[in-house]
Amino acid sequence: MMNVRWGVGKIKYIAMKMSNKFLQFVGKLFLLRPAKLEADAKKSFQEMKEDQGRFIYDEDGFVYPFSDGERKVKWSSIERLEGYKQDLMTADQICMDITFEGSHVTFSEETPGWYIFQEKLHAALPGVSSSWEYDVMFPAFANNFTVLYEREDRKMPAATNFHALFKNIKRGKVQRALEKRGWTSRKESSVYTGLSNAWTELSLEDGASELLLHGIVAYHPDNIRLLDNIFDSLGVFYRYEIYDDQGVLLLEKKSALGK
């Protein structure tokens, strides 16, 4: 019995000694940790700031190996930039969505080369706020989606501003003409087709006696020229009107083929 008691006591004593040593070790570790963490953080952040990642820059843009292959993106081809905060449960991540030439890609602050990319971007597109990353951090628990930049010819109106009609033509022919020039289509019903690109969101539908096309169009001379070119190539009568956000008529056009 005595041996058992001694054994238990000895085990308690050894455990206590080990516990004290462990606590001393932990205490020393935590005493040293703040300074070490600060030094490591400074070094890590400096390395991140100087890391160019997989970006290759030249005078008018950058090259990047996207998931579908390496591509060159000119600063002038960027149509829209969107910034927001992504909730990853244990941390938040700042992200930027980029629309260019009909493509859409996302970079985040975890993308190698992020900091140099932001410097290059601000130099090329000075209209982008230099504080946007800080701005989207607040308020907490919200993604704080913000349009950071929109090219002049890609600024979308808030509501429907485009109305057009065509005579003596099938919906499929107009749809194919737009698709050949880069529009994406989606069939919504037997009489309705949605069409969109970087600067339009349109509905093409069968009317009682006419084909109707209406929706949102970013008003810019280059966009209007392209639409006129497509519509003229159809070889039928058409008419359209386009308005500003206040409902003021900006442009009205009829084809030269008569009613």
Q: What is the pLDDT of residues 80-138, one digit of tens each?
A: 999 999 988 778 999 999 999 878 899 999 999 999 999 999 999 999 999 999 999 99
The pLDDT score that the predictor gives to residue 22 is: 52
pTM for the model stands at 0.60
pLDDT at res. 257 = 75
Rg (CA), the chain: 30
Q: Where in the chain is the domain with CATH 3.30.310?
A: 162-254
Tokens representing residue 22 in the block: 């462990």
Amino acid at 69: G
Stretch(es) of the chain classified as CATH 2.30.29: 56-150
Which pLDDT value is given to residue 14? Answer: 43
Amino acid (1-letter code) at residue 39:
A
The amino acid occupying position 228 is: D
Q: 3-class DSSP state for residue 235? A: coil
Cα separation of 150 and 121, whole Å?
A: 14
Q: 90 Cβ partners below 8 Å, 6+ apart?
A: none
For 56-150, CATH gives: 2.30.29
Distance of CA 3 to CAs 7, 11, 12, 15, Å?
6, 12, 14, 18
Task: Look at the block and give the residue holding tokens 């006129």.
Answer: 228
| Segment 29-35 long-range contacts (CB within 8 Å, at least 24 positions apart) | none
Residues of the chain with pLDDT under 70: 1-43, 258-259
- Long-range CB contacts (within 8 A, 24+) of 231-238: 231/164, 231/166, 231/255, 233/177, 234/166, 234/169, 234/173, 234/174, 234/177, 236/166, 236/167, 236/168, 236/169, 237/166, 237/167, 237/168, 238/164, 238/165, 238/166, 238/167
pLDDT of residue 32: 47
Q: Is the omega angle on the peptide bond into residue 139 within 30 degrees of 0, that is, cis? A: yes
Write the single-letter amino acid at 75: W
Nearest Cα to Cα of residue 237 among 180, 177, 169, 191: 169
State CA 200 to chain mean position distance: 17
For residue 187, what pLDDT is reported? 82
Fold of 162-254: TATA-Binding Protein (3.30.310)
